[in-house]
Amino acid sequence: MMNCCGLVTVKNEPVPLKSVAVDVRVQGHVATVTSTLLYVNGEERPLEAVFVFPLPGECALCHFSAKLGDTEVVAKLQDKQKAREQYDDALSSGHQAFLLEESDQSPDMFQLNVGSLPPGESAAITLVYISELAMQADDALRFCLPAVLNPRYTPQEMDRSKMATVTSVPAGMVPYTLALSAHLSSPQPISKVESNCALEPLVYLNADKTQATVSLSSGHVFDRDVELLLYYQDAHEPTAIVEGGQDSAEPGSLMGDPVVMLSFYPEFPAAVTSSLATCGEFIFVVDRSGSMDCRMHSGKDAKMRIESARDTLLLLLKSLPMGCFFNIYGFGSRFESFFPKSVEYKQNTMDEALQKVNGMKADMGGTEILQPLKHIYSQPCIPSHPRQLFIFTDGEVGNTKQVVDLVKLNVNSHRCFSFGIGQGASTALINGLAQEGSGHAQFITGTDRMQPKVMQSLRYALQPAVKDISVVWDLPDGVSVTTLSPPLKVLFHGQRALLYAQLKGESSGNPEGSVTIQYNLLEETVKNQLGFCLKPTGDTGVTLHRLGARALIRSLEVVERAGGPEAAALREELLQLSLQSGVSSTHTAFIAIHKGSGQAVQGPLLRRTIPTPMLSGSSSMSVFMSGFGGFGGYGCLAGRSAGPIEKARKKRGDRMGAKRTAETFEEGCYHMLDTKDILDKKVQEPESLTDPLLQLISLQKATGSWEMDSSMAKVLEKSDDELAKLMPVGADKAVWATTLALIWLYGLRLEARDEWQFVAMKAASWIQAQKVGCVSQCVQAGNALLGCQVQQKTLGL
């Protein structure tokens, strides 16, 4: 049984995927990624290899080819069902074939079938995709090459026969390496490049530092997501880039007309960014599946994901404004909420919630996020309190499209902020929730701390909402525009907004155009304008065309899934758009066939499932994974009889039947792993807070004040007598304690300001509301007690 797990062959030889080489070409905010996967069949019989792997959910997959010896076969994009039939027919006829298709459930999962690979032969598979680079809070552009594809939990009501099989192994057992090099080109100078992996030094290619190269250190084992953070000077400059149409494409078509990409960076006035809402309904939805019992990273002091989530909820609960409403949901195979409905935020409700947060464990089974969302949306909204969802998950779900569609359906009643925890979180899910929910997405990977990223999103949620967003084009006579991106529904301060549009027609005169984004903010109208040239010079490629096509394909797919009388027509429109642009979709697949001897395969093809790494911090999970050889490593000997085409098609049905049996086994393993029933692992009680910052924040009242007691003295590392002795005469004890807390934060924990900024703002507001005259004396005495030199103005007093 162990030999059929997909990790080794029947002779205990390594799986056929030997290495992965990646070339990244970055132009400004867009990356073109070329990945080459080398397969070798070291067995005595023909082999079919199956590799399920992740790609960024928002990328445009646009090229697939295979090289066998000196012969290269370039794949064609076809209707998915036709491509599958051609694949079966080719294998039955003795040819080599390659099939690459996107998962029906999630656009960030792909399955590659390599067959029939003769004994001793190698095949180099090359795929190319284009992706936008996400803007981070510190203005870095983030490129991520996902390596980890965790087993996706499949809800009971879903058809498991349609789910891609994921084979995962502990990170240290991944049997292939990665070579990655990146060429960077930017209109602005490149300041630096950082990574979660070891890099060779950055090499500049010109004097103004607008071009550079960087690469991973040699021998890198592809056992984690590879993240590059690119820093440009003046990265927030708005841009408009026009790409000319293809001469070979039909005029008037998407690929034949010019396409423009607009990048806007709204900068709000200081009065807006400093004013925070005092109302709202805040609902925190926290993943409590068994996988949340993994560590955040592989470092020595890594916390469990659920532990980091508890710390984050503490910060959130302390940072909410008085008078708002809130609730907390935990979900796994089932879900539960702290309160039957959202409650008003005050001292007693905050205390009750914190007590329940301290008892939260990763003990709720699988990852079923759809049902709690349905329940939340069934609750009536609270008048004058806009609903804001904060969703925390490691993203291991199998029904991504259903979840995202549900959020889109309810977008008019809420905003959704999403957080992907740990490596392997689905980019399609996390980004999709935020995009369709008019919110913002964050990923917490490696040694990232969850708290500052979550607090940044809370700031967005508390800022005044931008209303009535419109895009107005000013184009010469004879030129019109068709927007390819979905309408802009939300703008945040300092966050990039991207728009793609197709320019139609010809202008005999003025070659210039402009576009204006207009919106209302606190009853004032704001305008941002960009100009651009309608006719770019030289060969500009088709990168923006394909990203624009990808944006349109995703929008139409959401509408198609909603059903209705237009679904059939939409499917045909999607199919033609995908084929015309060369960008894969739900309805298409890449198929490549290399005609060999033409002799039908005799006997069964060996089927080998290539593993992807699954990172875990739980020793018991690692033991489980090692003992069973990883998920999806079953049914590897998929029979395929020699014979006519009809038999080959029948065999696809046989394989799917075997796959259904296998996935039932996978589902059982995943459930057992999540609940840890078979591991008999005792769930540890939550650890007491050891971080002095979190200890201090845990003592704050809902109003923003602190009380003078022994717990406060312990955090400040002073005795009760010292605190009492230095308190100014006539000062209120709570004002004195709250002033000391502020001085401690600003004087000793300034580097963590992103985490405690709202706590401090509440404290300063509370002190001001007391209207006492001893604040200056309290600040002076507090500085002397704590050995700080913080100015009263700095404290907001």
pLDDT, tens digit, for every residue of 489-534?
777 877 788 899 999 988 777 789 999 988 888 778 888 888 988 8
Q: To which H or E segment does residue 711 belong? A: helix 710-715
Residue 614 has pLDDT above 60, yes or no: no
Instruction: Calculate mean pLDDT across residues 776-783.
Output: 94
Q: Order of strands, edge to edge, in the sheet holding 524-533?
A: 467-474, 512-521, 524-533
- Which pLDDT does position 448 carry in this prediction? 78
- Domain covering 239-270+467-543 assigned CATH 2.60.40.1230 in the classification: yes
Q: To which H or E segment does residue 421 belong? A: strand 414-421
Residue entry with tokens 């979709």 = 585
Domains 2-233+584-634 and 276-462 share a fold: no
Beta-carbon contacts of 690 under 8 Å, excluding residues fewer than 6 positions away, are none
Crossing angle between the packed helical segments 305-319 and 347-358, to the nearest 10 degrees: 170
Mark residue 193 as left, alpha or beta (left: phi above 0; alpha: psi -120 to 50; beta: remaining).
beta
**Using one digit for the tens of pLDDT, what is the confidence trace for 542-568?**
999 999 999 999 999 988 988 878 888
Cβ–Cβ under 8 Å, residues 613 and 174: yes
**Using one digit for the tens of pLDDT, what is the confidence trace for 376-398?**
999 999 998 999 999 999 876 77
- Which pLDDT does position 606 carry in this prediction? 58
Beta-carbon contacts of 717 under 8 Å, excluding residues fewer than 6 positions away, are none
Contacts 24+ apart (CB under 8 A), 134-140: 135/29, 135/235, 135/495, 135/496, 136/229, 137/452, 137/453, 137/456, 139/231, 139/232, 139/235, 139/236, 140/194, 140/229, 140/230, 140/231
- Which pLDDT does position 611 carry in this prediction? 52
- Which pLDDT does position 609 carry in this prediction? 58
Residue entry with tokens 């500052």 = 452
What average pLDDT does the chain have?
A: 80
Instruction: Calculate mean pLDDT across residues 607-629.
Output: 37
The percent of residues above 90 in pLDDT, for the chain, comes to 43
Residue 235 has pLDDT above 90, yes or no: no
| From the candidate CATH numbers 3.40.50.410, 3.90.79.10, 3.20.20.70, 3.40.50.10950, the one assigned to the domain spanning 276-462 | 3.40.50.410
All structural domains of the chain with their residue ranges: 2-233+584-634, 239-270+467-543, 276-462, 692-786
**What global pTM score does this model have?**
0.77
264 pLDDT band, cuts 50/70/90, is confident
**Using one digit for the tens of pLDDT, what is the confidence trace for 39-90?**
787 777 777 777 777 788 789 999 999 888 788 899 999 999 999 999 999 9
Residue 414 is encoded by which pair of tokens? 């809420």
- Which pLDDT does position 538 carry in this prediction? 67
- Which pLDDT does position 19 carry in this prediction? 79
- Which pLDDT does position 681 carry in this prediction? 35
- Tell me the CATH architecture of domain 2-233+584-634: Sandwich (2.60)
- Cα dihedral sign, 751-752-758-759: negative
Highest mean pLDDT: which range of 143-152, 646-655, 769-778: 769-778
- Cα dihedral sign, 740-746-752-757: positive
**Using one digit for the tens of pLDDT, what is the confidence trace for 656-665?**
333 333 333 2
**Using one digit for the tens of pLDDT, what is the confidence trace for 189-204?**
999 999 988 899 999 9
Say if residue 674 is exposed, middle or buried (CB neighbours under 10 Å; 0-12, 13-18, 19+).
buried
**Using one digit for the tens of pLDDT, what is the confidence trace for 338-347?**
999 999 999 9
Query: Of 29-33, 364-368, 637-641, where does mean pLDDT reach its minimum?
Result: 637-641
